[in-house]
């Protein structure tokens, strides 16, 4: 009995660890140059010009300390949006499709890369 | 909620969005100070400061003040209004009356909200809320609350504007954050352990001006008990008012208006030289510990206006009416203009009388009864209603002065039954 529980616990812990390792990058499909990009509490290096994408970043995601939020700074305004989480340990690209700087709207989507 | 409350609340949101536009001001503020850690980690912001930036933490208390600011603006429009809460652990369906056209659905197209229910994630389970309320450390509780489904679930599930840092653009933001605030109140009632390291916060720092008025300076620690703002959340059809001293700090008359039973006692004190009013459309009960001091101006009353049939038709805890036209056929269009018409119904006769001076609709019932005439626009929004007491002839003049267009005239009796529903075209 104890052994069964032990195995179940181990599997449970492994499944959490499995989900927590994230590989993501950000792609800029907007017409703007994007700076100060931050995802899962990690500040990305440099800026993204239109049609550029970042390198992949790897992070151990813990949802008590890193927020599943993308922040990005465009033309004097800071935009924030919750990002979808991949259900599996995939590499994903968060594609910023558009940023409407007049109405302050941002549209993103997640692409599973593998 | 009663039809009256829904209509008034929807109208109030539209009113706040016009003129000085408080809704946009709040959405922009929330967006500008949402989280600054991508630009300057030392900058004050509203979200995601725990667990490592405790000195900056203001999540629950800041949103409490934002709800209070909104509710005060609404009460300036109609003192009976308060922001209801959306219990997203119980009211989980996109078919809920919450989202219907006469309520939160009204804003989807008008405010370009692009909601996409269930698109990104789940709503919290009742069990997850029960578990969360048992956490004992305030910062751990607040951190869990903000990041996990009890708070983030509704933002993600509704999606559109709600999933962005401009979420106060969607009126359901306010119904969600009153629920968040109620849960914080429930937690504080049990644990009595909320505290902040800060003594100031953004927007409520005594310098922010909106529409010509400087917002007050608020120390977060002064409002960790929601009574400090005169706020009491009702639950299961009961509003319990306790441990409170009327002070008129915020309003010259403190009105506690609920559609539920109000029970005031256990150190609820209407103090000398204060003015307060408990008003329910159900009942008001004063229990031991209630005190109206000599020299106080205190009233308790039943709101007769909405205790009429409008209220009796809507006694469920949640707004669960059907859509206005679910139960009636509307194939028959009446042109309400010169020289039209007649129709026969076994129970009801509805006629229009064209007259160069006095256009009117006459509805003849087969016997005298209480009824309500409701006028809807074609999106289903209730525009006008009038109560008729024990009558068999109803006359509507000039369609209440409404602009030319197509409307639905509906007559409902005291049992909630639709007696007649007809499309009318006012030329
Ligand atoms: Cu917020």
In a domain, A1, yes or no: no
Domain end marker among B224, B240, B255: B224
In a domain, B68, yes or no: yes
3-class SS at B139? Answer: helix
Domain that includes residue B411, residue range: 349-426
DSSP letter at A101? T
C-beta atoms surrounding B304 within 10 Å: 9
The answer, for A98 touching chain B at a CB cutoff of 8 Å, is no
CATH no. for residue A101?
A: 2.60.40.2890
Q: Is B225 exposed, middle or buried (0-12, 13-18, 19+ CB in 10 A)?
A: middle
Is B39's CB within 8 Å of A81's CB? Answer: no
Give per-residue burial for B212-224: e unless 16+ CB within 10 Å, then b.
Answer: eeeeeebebeebb
The string of pLDDT tens digits covering residues B157-183 is: 999 999 999 999 999 999 999 999 999
In a domain, A83, yes or no: yes
Do the Cβ atoms of A101 and A77 come closer than 8 Å? yes
What sign for the dihedral angle of Cα B174, B178, B179, B181?
Answer: positive
Do the Cβ atoms of B7 and B384 come closer than 8 Å? no
Calculate mean pLDDT across residues B105-130. 92
For residue B35, how far is its CA from the centre of ligand 1 (angstroms)? 10
Residue A106, min C-alpha distance to chain B (Å): 8
CA atoms within 13 A on the CB side of B124: 27
The string of pLDDT tens digits covering residues B73-83 is: 999 988 889 99
Is A80's CB within 8 Å of B164's CB? Answer: yes
Number of domains in chain A: 1
In a domain, A2, yes or no: no
- The token duo for B225 is 């008990």
Quote the pLDDT of residue B249: 87
**ipTM of the assembly?**
0.85
The string of pLDDT tens digits covering residues B411-427 is: 877 766 777 777 777 76
CATH no. for residue B367?
A: 2.60.40.1930
The answer, for A69 touching chain B at a CB cutoff of 8 Å, is yes
∠ CA B303-B306-B310 to the nearest 5 degrees? 155
Q: Indicate the pTM of the whole model.
A: 0.75
Residue B187, min C-alpha distance to chain A (Å): 19
**3-32 in A: which are within 8 Å (CB) of B?**
none
In a domain, A54, yes or no: yes
- The token duo for B339 is 């020289």
- Which of B38, B47, B166 is nearest residue A43 as measured by Cβ atoms? B38
Residue of A53, A36, A34 whose CA lies nearest to A45: A36
CA–CA separation, B362 vs B134, rounded Å?
A: 60
CATH no. for residue B128?
A: 1.10.1280.10
**102-161 in B: which are within 8 Å (CB) of A?**
112, 120-121, 143-144, 147-148, 152, 155-156
Query: Do residues B361 and B219 share a domain?
Result: no
Is A65's CB within 8 Å of B35's CB? Answer: no
The band of B356, judged by pLDDT with boundaries at 50, 70 and 90, is: very low
In a domain, A6, yes or no: no
Quote the pLDDT of residue A87: 77
The string of pLDDT tens digits covering residues B45-87 is: 999 999 999 999 999 999 999 999 999 999 998 888 999 999 9
Domain that includes residue A45, residue range: 20-113
Q: Between B400 and B272, whose confidence is greater?
A: B272
Domain end marker among B169, B189, B224: B224
Number of domains in chain B: 2
The answer, for A67 touching chain B at a CB cutoff of 8 Å, is yes
Domain end marker among B224, B254, B280: B224
Beta strand B290-292 with B268-270 is parallel
As averages over each run of 10 residues, the pLDDT of chain A (114 residues) reads 46 47 93 95 95 94 91 95 85 94 90 88
CA–CA separation, B236 vs B263, rounded Å?
A: 13
Closest-CA residue of chain A to B139 = A64
Q: Between B124 and A6, whose confidence is greater?
A: B124
In a domain, B50, yes or no: yes
In a domain, A32, yes or no: yes
The answer, for A39 touching chain B at a CB cutoff of 8 Å, is no
Beta strands (DSSP E) in A1-114 are 21-28, 35-39, 42-43, 57-60, 69-74, 77-82, 91-100, 105-112
In a domain, B249, yes or no: no
In a domain, A8, yes or no: no
- Which of A37, A81, A82 is nearest residue B38 as measured by Cβ atoms? A37
Residue A77, min C-alpha distance to chain B (Å): 7
In a domain, B297, yes or no: no
The answer, for A105 touching chain B at a CB cutoff of 8 Å, is yes
- Interface with chain A: mutation pick from B17, B31, B33, B38, highest number of A CBs within 10 Å: B38
């Amino acid at each position: 009995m104890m052994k069964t529980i032990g195995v179940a616990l181990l599997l449970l812990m492994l499944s959490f660890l499995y989900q927590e390792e994230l590989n993501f990058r950000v792609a800029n499909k907007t017409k703007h140059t994007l700076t100060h990009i931050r995802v899962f509490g990690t500040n990305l290096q440099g800026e993204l010009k239109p049609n550029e994408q970042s390198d992949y970043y790897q992070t151990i995601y813990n949802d008590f300390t890193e927020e599943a939020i993308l922040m990005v700074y465009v033309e004097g305004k800071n935009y924030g949006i919750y990002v979808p989480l991949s259900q599996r340990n995939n590499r994903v690209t968060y594609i910023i499709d558009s940023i409407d700087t007049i109405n302050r709207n941002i549209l993103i989507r997640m692409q599973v890369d593998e | 909620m009663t039809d009256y409350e829904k209509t008034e609340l929807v109208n109030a949101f539209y009113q706040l969005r016009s003129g000085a536009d408080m809704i946009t001001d709040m959405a922009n503020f929330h967006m500008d100070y949402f989280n600054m850690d991508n630009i300057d980690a030392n900058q004050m912001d509203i979200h995601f400061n725990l667990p490592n930036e405790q000195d900056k933490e203001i999540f629950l208390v800041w949103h409490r003040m934002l709800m209070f600011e909104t509710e005060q603006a609404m009460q300036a429009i109609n003192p009976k209004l308060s922001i209801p809460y959306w219990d997203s652990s119980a009211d989980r369906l996109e078919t809920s009356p919450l989202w219907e056209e006469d309520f939160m659905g009204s804003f989807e197209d008008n405010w370009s909200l692009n909601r996409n229910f269930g698109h990104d994630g789940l709503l919290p389970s009742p069990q997850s809320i029960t578990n969360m309320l048992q956490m004992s450390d305030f910062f751990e509780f607040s951190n869990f609350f903000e990041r996990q489904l009890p708070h983030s679930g509704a933002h993600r599930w509704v999606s559109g504007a709600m999933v962005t840092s401009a979420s106060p653009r969607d009126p359901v933001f306010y119904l969600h954050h009153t629920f968040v605030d109620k849960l914080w109140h429930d937690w504080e009632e049990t644990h009595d352990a909320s505290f902040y390291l800060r003594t100031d916060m953004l927007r409520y720092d005594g310098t922010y001006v909106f529409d010509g008025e400087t917002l007050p300076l608020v120390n977060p620690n002064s409002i960790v008990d929601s009574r400090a703002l005169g706020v009491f959340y009702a639950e299961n059809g009961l509003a319990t008012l306790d441990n409170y001293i009327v002070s008129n700090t915020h309003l010259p008359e403190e009105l506690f208006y609920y559609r539920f039973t109000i029970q005031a006692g256990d150190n609820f004190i209407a103090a000398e030289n204060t003015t307060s009013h408990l008003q329910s459309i159900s009942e008001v009960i004063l229990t031991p510990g209630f005190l109206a001091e000599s020299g106080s101006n205190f009233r308790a009353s039943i709101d007769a206006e909405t205790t009429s049939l409008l209220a009796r038709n809507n006694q469920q805890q949640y707004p669960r009416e059907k859509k206005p036209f679910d139960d009636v056929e509307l194939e028959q269009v009446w042109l309400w203009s010169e020289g039209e018409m007649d129709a026969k119904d076994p129970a009801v006769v509805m006629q229009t009388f064209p007259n160069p001076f006095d256009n009117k609709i006459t509805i003849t019932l087969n016997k005298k009864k209480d009824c309500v005439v409701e006028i809807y626009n074609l999106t289903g929004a209730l525009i006008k209603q009038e109560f008729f007491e024990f009558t068999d002839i109803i006359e509507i003049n000039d369609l209440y002065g409404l602009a030319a267009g197509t409307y639905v005239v509906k007559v409902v009796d005291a049992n909630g039954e639709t007696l007649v529903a007809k499309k009318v075209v006012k030329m």
